[in-house]
Amino acid sequence: MEDCTPVKTPMVTGLRLETPGNPLSAEEIEFMKDKPYLCAIGKLTWLANGTRPDIAYAAGVLARFNNCARKA
């Protein structure tokens, strides 16, 4: 692996996403109400696993936050 050429990936290196400790506020619930996050992540994961292995990891990381998707 020493002679490999690095390539760009769709995820920032060293990015650390965390589950927020506090519940969603009414404002966040209202904002996310019409955002199809769960559906979009599911479709992205399915496509990435079959056709784009370079983005499969990033899709998997985002899928970990399906139950607490927020504006950020």
How does pLDDT run across 39-65, given as a tens digit for each residue? 888 898 998 888 888 788 888 888 887
Nearest to 58 by CA among 6, 21, 13: 13
Give the residue-averaged pLDDT of 14-28. Answer: 77
Q: Can you tell me the distance from the alpha carbon of 21 to that of 3, in angstroms, rounded to the nearest whole number?
A: 42
Residue 1 binned pLDDT confidence (cut-offs 50, 70, 90): low
Q: Tell me the domain boundaries of the chain.
A: 26-68
The predicted pLDDT at position 59 comes to 86
The more confidently predicted of residues 4 and 64 is 64
pTM: 0.61
